[in-house]
């Protein structure tokens, strides 16, 4: 384990945006006051009140060679681990039951892949990362996006993380591969998750960023919401409204000491990361900006800087009346009379959706290195509740500062912020906070209680594959279930059950220090069908705004936070079948490192639209807490979460070793392994890491429970520890092509 805190520095940048290909084109537009907002010629805008967007200009065929970052003789798809050669699954790997092969992609998806690869290769070349001498299993990939395929009605749903898999396979990245999807704050959260992986020692280098494209469907959806401006986006000015954009941006993140050893000058540092939930409405922010303020305060605290240290803010600044006003109130709550220059990049490149955060962070770093602040284009006259100094000009203003803030907000109240600065000096590692499993909840074919889960696991035999009918009001009396799709209802009930199991009622400030991290494999089939039906019946110009608001992966999480008043850190990740366990590990890392959170509900969810042999649906939830918070309401034997590890596909033994090292245990200290995978699959995936340790699989009872399965295995392990069947349990998840993971739980503290 590392002896010092990881100081994440940025050693490479890559960008594709509406003003051109590459970081040079992006900065040239910022410097000259040019924008990329033009009438749309890619698809018809007949019937819409707006025809503007920031589309990436096409390149001539052959201008963008698609070559991997590593040459085949360096890695290919065979990687070296501890003297062995392993092969991780490629794009033709095994399929997940209930999820067929990747479907034929639309032109929008092809653009996503093309833009992402171009930006990633620029960042990689910029960082001279090919000279880093790292095996590819020590390189991780975090991709933020809201571009998710709609499922084919003739087969099971396509998984949300397909884009990340295509990018990782193309670039031969063998470490953890994580998709982050929180709508318009996706890539900001991807940067934060990448920093988490470095901090936890789960990777030595992370390629983090995001990508999104403008499609007829998302253009129609934003139009239906009434937020598109007929004129070019003018943040904080007139007329109100936004202009959609697209593109991709990536950063290479690594430890400052590693960068120094290989002679690479850092371009800046990712000093802090904050995230929060509004717990408000689907497409409208908390009008008082309290969620924004929580995310900003969290980022400042994480960075170890004060509000007065921030010399510039790159705001979300969409240009819409509600978002601009809410954001400014949130910033005022944090900065008070100290109001640094605040500008928005969206007047230049448009609102690039899931790629917005990383592109704006790149602009911020480029400006900081040049001792200027970027302008807010198209500013005419100020709106009420706007920045005192919006940098209203056509070119950057000279300005020296050491720290900057880049901020984004999204549908369903997902706020994220990063603090950027110069390369930091190494600092001592702060002690970790103890993480405890305070409560557990499980919704599945077995029913809704931990006792029922224990009985079906004890007796064995398949219990069916669908959740039995239930009345949501019995679990959450204040909830109105009308219009909620199954995936959301399962998530809300599982989380409510975990809170009840812990004996916790969220009141006062604890609400703001309680968060939610969800592992979800795909969009709800129910929501996809509703959106498609709306288009078929009404046409794109009259698509349902409500149906569109559900077409983001974080919609279930946003609803859950609103119904249960969870206002702390909020995120949604996808890694296929292991999504749930990955969410648990990332939530535990947040709790162990941060000072702005005391409680994290962490869940995996799965929804079936029809019975499918061998596949189950449901949701599992672990309520993680810091030990002092859990002790206040402990009503059962405490279960400690002592270690967690994530690794790339086919590398479960690496994740197991990482979890054991963090827990300061050896293989002989583990009494049993719990897994959602079949027993033989779990044993084979672990290699010799835990040879001889008995494996308990929930697969004979549930079949493949998808993203819910790994958390259901965790819940089963918690019940076994509470009843003292075992003292220490390792929970593992290895299915799929994305990320493997392992957790160590113990029933008592040594």
Residues annotated as part of the active site: 184, 316, 351
For residue 647, the SS3 value is: strand
Residue 635 burial (CB count, 10 A)? 10
The residue among 58, 43, 54, 53 whose CA lies nearest residue 18 is 54
Q: What angle do CA 193, 314, 269 make, to 5 degrees?
A: 45
Task: Find out whether 326 and 286 touch, Cβ atoms under 8 Å.
Answer: yes
| Gap between the Cα atoms of 670 and 693, Å rounded | 7
SS3 167: helix
Structure token digits, residue 579: 């999504």
d(CA 330, CA 339) in angstroms, rounded, equals 12
Find where tokens 């034929």 sit.
104
Angle at 740 between CA 737 and CA 746, to 5 degrees: 160
Location of structure tokens 């919401």: 225
Residue 749, strand partner residues: none
Residue 484 φ/ψ, nearest 5 degrees: -90, 125
**8 Å CB contact between 155 and 52:** no
Query: How many beta carbons lie within 10 A of that of residue 401, not counting itself?
Result: 17
Query: H or E segment at 604?
Result: strand 599-606
Phi and psi of 458, rounded to 5°? -70, -40
Packing angle of the helix pair 579-593, 186-199 (nearest 10 deg): 70
* Helix, strand, coil share of the chain (percent; to 5): 35, 20, 40
CB atoms within 10 A of CB 429: 14
Q: Decide: 87 and 78 in contact? Cβ < 8 Å.
A: yes
H or E stretch including 322?
helix 321-335
Q: Which DSSP state fits 472?
A: G
Alpha-carbon span 620 to 226, nearest angstrom: 37
Please give the Cα distance from 411 to 320 (Å, whole number).
13
Q: Which two tokens stand for residue 472?
A: 């949501």
3-state secondary structure of 297: helix
Pairwise CA distance, residues 392 & 394, whole Å: 7
**Residue 333 to residue 326: CA distance in whole angstroms:** 11
d(Cα 680, Cα 619) in Å, to the nearest integer? 24
**485: CB partners within 8 A, 6+ apart:** 524, 526, 527, 550, 556, 607
Task: With H, G, I as helix, E, B as strand and everything else as coil, classify residue 412.
Answer: helix
Q: Is the dihedral of CA 16, 356, 341, 301 positive or negative?
A: negative
The torsion defined by the Cα of 125, 35, 31 and 321, in degrees rounded to 10, comes to: -110
Alpha-carbon distance values, 377 to 340, 346, 391 (Å): 18, 8, 9
């Amino acid at each position: 384990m590392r002896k010092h805190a990881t100081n994440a520095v940025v050693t490479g940048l890559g960008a594709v945006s509406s003003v051109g290909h590459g970081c040079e084109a992006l900065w040239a537009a910022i410097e000259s006051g040019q924008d990329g907002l033009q009438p749309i010629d890619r698809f018809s805008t007949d019937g819409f009140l707006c025809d503007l967007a920031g589309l990436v200009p096409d390149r001539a065929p052959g201008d963008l060679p698609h070559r991997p970052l590593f040459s085949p003789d360096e890695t290919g798809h065979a990687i070296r681990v501890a003297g062995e050669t392993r092969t991780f699954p490629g794009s033709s790997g095994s399929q997940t039951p209930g999820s067929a092969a990747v479907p034929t992609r639309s032109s929008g998806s092809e653009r996503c892949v093309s833009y992402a690869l171009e930006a990633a290769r620029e960042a990689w070349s910029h960082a001279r990362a090919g000279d880093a001498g790292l095996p590819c299993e020590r390189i991780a990939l975090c991709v933020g996006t809201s571009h998710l395929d709609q499922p084919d009605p003739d087969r099971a749903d396509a998984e949300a993380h397909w884009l990340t898999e295509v990018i990782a396979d193309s670039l031969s990245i063998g470490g953890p591969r994580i998709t982050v999807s929180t709508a318009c704050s996706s890539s900001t959260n991807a940067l934060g998750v990448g920093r988490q992986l470095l901090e936890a020692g789960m990777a030595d280098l992370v390629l983090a960023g995001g990508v999104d494209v403008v499609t007829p469907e998302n253009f129609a959806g934003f139009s239906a919401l009434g937020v598109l401006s007929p004129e070019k986006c003018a943040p904080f000015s007139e007329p109100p409204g936004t202009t959609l954009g697209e593109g991709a941006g990536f950063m290479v993140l690594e430890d400052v000491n590693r960068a120094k050893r290989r002679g690479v000058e850092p371009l800046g540092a990712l000093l802090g990361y904050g995230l929060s939930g509004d717990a408000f409405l689907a497409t409208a922010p908390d009008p008082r900006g309290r969620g924004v303020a929580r995310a900003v305060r969290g980022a400042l605290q994480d960075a170890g800087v004060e509000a007065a240290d921030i010399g510039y803010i790159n705001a979300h600044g969409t240009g819409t009346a509600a978002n601009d006003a809410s954001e400014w109130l949130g910033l005022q709550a944090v900065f008070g009379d100290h109001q640094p220059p605040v500008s928005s990049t969206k007047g230049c490149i448009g609102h690039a959706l899931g790629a917005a955060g990383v592109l704006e962070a790149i602009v911020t770093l480029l400006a900081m290195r040049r001792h200027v602040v970027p302008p807010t284009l198209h500013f005419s006259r100020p709106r009420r509740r706007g920045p005192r100094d919006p940098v209203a000009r056509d070119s950057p203003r000279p300005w020296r500062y050491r720290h900057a803030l880049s901020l984004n907000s999204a549908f369903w109240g997902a706020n994220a912020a990063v603090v950027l600065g110069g390369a930091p000096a190494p600092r001592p590692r702060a002690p970790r906070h103890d993480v405890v499993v305070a409560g557990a909840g499980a919704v599945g074919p077995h029913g809704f209680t931990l006792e029922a889960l224990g009985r079906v696991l004890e007796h064995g035999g398949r219990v069916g594959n669908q959740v039995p009918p239930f009345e949501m009001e019995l679990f959450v009396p204040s909830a109105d279930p009308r219009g909620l799709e199954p995936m959301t209802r399962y998530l809300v009930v599982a989380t409510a059950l975990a809170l009840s199991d812990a004996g916790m009622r969220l009141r006062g400030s604890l609400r703001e220090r309680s968060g939610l991290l969800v592992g979800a494999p795909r969009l709800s089939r129910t929501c996809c069908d509703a959106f498609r039906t709306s288009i078929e019946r009404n046409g794109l110009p009259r698509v349902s705004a409500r149906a569109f608001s559900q077409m983001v992966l974080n919609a279930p999480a946003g609803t859950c936070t609103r119904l249960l008043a969870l206002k702390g850190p909020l995120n949604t990740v996808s890694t296929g079948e292991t999504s749930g366990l990955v969410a648990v590990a990332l939530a535990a890392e947040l709790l162990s490192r941060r000072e702005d959170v005391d409680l994290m509900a962490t869940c995996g969810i799965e929804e079936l639209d029809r019975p499918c042999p061998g596949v189950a649906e449901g949701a599992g939830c672990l309520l993680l807490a810091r030990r002092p918070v859990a002790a206040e309401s402990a009503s059962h034997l405490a279960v400690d979460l002592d270690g967690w590890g994530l690794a790339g596909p086919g590398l479960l033994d690496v994740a197991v070793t990482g979890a054991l090292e963090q827990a300061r245990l050896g293989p002989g200290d583990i009494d049993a392994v719990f897994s959602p995978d079949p027993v033989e699959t779990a044993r084979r995936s672990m290699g010799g890491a835990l040879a001889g340790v008995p494996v308990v699989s929930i697969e004979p009872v549930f079949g493949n429970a998808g993203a819910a399965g790994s958390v259901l295995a965790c819940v089963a392990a918690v019940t076994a520890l509470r009843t003292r069947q075992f003292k220490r349990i390792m929970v593992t998840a290895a299915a799929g092509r994305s990320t493997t993971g392992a957790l160590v739980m113990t029933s008592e503290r040594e």
